[in-house]
Structure 1
Amino acid sequence: MAAPEVTAIIPVFNDRQALERAIPESLVILSSITEHFEVIVAEDGSTDGSAEFVRGYEAKNPRVKLLHSDKRLGRGTALNRAIRQAQGSIVCYYDVDLATDMQHLSELIEKIRKGADVSTGSRLLPESDIHRTGGREIASRSYNFLVRCILGSRLFDHQCGFKAFNKQKILPLLPTIRSNHWFWDTELLVRAQRKGFVVTEFPVRWRAGKGTTVRLKDVFSMGSSILRLWWQIHVSED
């Protein structure tokens, strides 16, 4: 089998049910984009049978690979680990609930093929098509506004779980990322822009997954993470 051109990573924590749709749909969509691909399920200490489910797919299809952790590492650490082990020259990842329409996957990958170092879907561009509750919408727009103002990002949506990278360009950036959980996405995009990487953002169709809510402690965590990265970039790393 030829070396894969594309590695698709699906980060997973107790998402056994969502995997039943995510894996077969990934295989179908990726097959329409390239003959040479692999799917890595970055399973992060799940206790609901997610790992066992993926092992069943591994036995049937060599393109599906389980990257298991016995203990919870955090989403960011799990993604770092999977990117390092990816065989593809283009690495992408997306949320297991497939909240972003998978029909956008070809565009996400094509951006890298055409020279971008990072490509990312956006729920906050005028052309984006999204459905979510008012509370989440306000929190998301406020958060991304602060990232733009405080951290100097030129992007509009930093947390959309739908991104792709030129692996060779992104690997040296990974050791600089300190966040090991949800803020990883934002920190990577901010640091990539500061390094002068070509980062492209495009509108997507997105539907909120079930059971996702915004809590007061999440809002405080958002603000403190932004300020911590500002301090790291402008003070502690100078």
Structure 2
Amino acid sequence: MNPVQITVVLPVYNDVEALKSAIPKSLEALTEFGRSFELIVAEDGSTDGSRELVEEWEQKDPRVRLLHSDERQGRGRALNRALAESHGEIFCYYDVDLATDIKHLPELLTRVENGAAVATGSRLMPESRIIRSGDREFASRGYNTLVRLFLGSKLRDHQCGFKAYRAGVLQELVPKIHAPHWFWDTESVVLAQRAGLRVEEFPVVWTQGPGTTVRFKDVYGMGMDILRMWWRLHVEKN
């Protein structure tokens, strides 16, 4: 098997309509970038035909791979599994709804090629252009302020689902990441910074997808995740 330079992962749960666009657009963008790649769809217990759609793509294009789970694992566990099954030197993932404009993919990958251990899009830099509801904007800014305050991060945006890592670096970080779901994103970049690694963020164009809402239990859960990580880093280690 020829070496694969880039692994791109699309975490998916009941996202068949988004996949119909995300797979061909990803293949086009990656082909234009000009490196060998694999596109892994980490499908997490979907019941809407997502699995069957990806299986059709597998038959048409050997660069597309399905990782299916019968039961819901959560975003973090799905990414851990995809990393274990990946072959790329660079490990990249982004949200299947392409909320972050895919035109930024070359910059994301090039930053890692040029020496960054981790690169991430940012919705909260002055140059970023975002379209989203006021409640999500307020929740996002509040959350990221707490991450910087409690966990010592220098980044502006920790949860943007548009990230790339040197695969070897991420393999070393994963055993220290506890979150099974959304907080995985934050843990990975906080731990990378604490290890003294080069983490770069850059402004992106980002558009809120349809049907996304802020729920109290999500806000509460993410706040508790921050406190648990703070406890782990500052109390348990002593």
TM beyond 0.5: yes
Structure 1 contact 5–34 (Cα < 8 Å) conserved: no
Q: Which residue number in structure 1 is paired with residue 138 of structure 2? A: 138
Separation in structure 1 between the aligned mates of residue 223 and residue 70 of structure 2, nearest angstrom: 31
1:171 aligns with 2:135: no
Cα deviation, residue 237, structure 1: 3.2
TM-score (norm 1): 0.98
Q: What SS does structure 2 have at the residue aligned with 1:5?
A: strand
Deviation per CA, 1:15-38: give whole Å up to 9, x if none: 011100000000000001124111
Q: Which residue number in structure 2 is paired with residue 58 of structure 1? A: 58
1:114 aligns with 2:114: yes
Q: Which residue number in structure 1 is paired with residue 9 of structure 2? A: 9
Separation in structure 2 between the aligned mates of residue 70 and residue 236 of structure 1, nearest angstrom: 35
What amino acid maps onto 2:104 in structure 1? H
What amino acid maps onto 2:148 in structure 1? R
What amino acid maps onto 1:202 in structure 2? F
**Runs of 5+ unmatched residues, structure 1:** none
Q: What SS does structure 2 have at the residue aligned with 1:182?
A: coil
Report the more deviating stretch, 214-223 or 178-187: 214-223
Separation in structure 1 between the aligned mates of residue 237 and residue 73 of structure 2, nearest angstrom: 25
Q: Which residue number in structure 2 is paired with residue 124 of structure 1? A: 124
Q: How many residues align?
A: 238
Cα deviation, residue 148, structure 1: 0.3
Aligned Cα root-mean-square deviation (Å): 0.9
Q: Which residue number in structure 2 is paired with residue 71 of structure 1? A: 71
What amino acid maps onto 1:66 in structure 2? L
Separation in structure 1 between the aligned mates of residue 187 and residue 105 of structure 2, nearest angstrom: 22
What amino acid maps onto 1:165 in structure 2? Y
Structure 2 contact 80–174 (Cα < 8 Å) conserved: yes
Separation in structure 1 between the aligned mates of residue 169 and residue 183 of structure 2, nearest angstrom: 20
TM-score (norm 2): 0.98
Separation in structure 2 between the aligned mates of residue 195 and residue 205 of structure 1, nearest angstrom: 29
Matches within 5 A, 1:90-101: 90-101=90-101
1:231 aligns with 2:215: no
Cα deviation, residue 233, structure 1: 1.0
Cα deviation, residue 218, structure 1: 1.7
What amino acid maps onto 1:12 in structure 2? V
Report the more deviating stretch, 227-236 or 123-132: 227-236
**Runs of 5+ unmatched residues, structure 2:** none
Structure 2 contact 6–35 (Cα < 8 Å) conserved: no
Q: What SS does structure 2 have at the residue aligned with 1:227?
A: helix
Q: What SS does structure 2 have at the residue aligned with 1:89?
A: strand
What amino acid maps onto 1:209 in structure 2? G
After superposing on structure 2, the runs of 4+ consecutive aligned residues of structure 1 that deviate more than 3 Å are none
Q: What SS does structure 2 have at the residue aligned with 1:201?
A: strand
Cα deviation, residue 234, structure 1: 1.1
Question: What percentage of aligned pairs have identical amino acids?
Answer: 58
Separation in structure 2 between the aligned mates of residue 22 and residue 169 of structure 1, nearest angstrom: 27
Separation in structure 1 between the aligned mates of residue 35 and residue 131 of structure 2, nearest angstrom: 33
Structure 2 contact 99–206 (Cα < 8 Å) conserved: yes
What amino acid maps onto 2:125 in structure 1? L
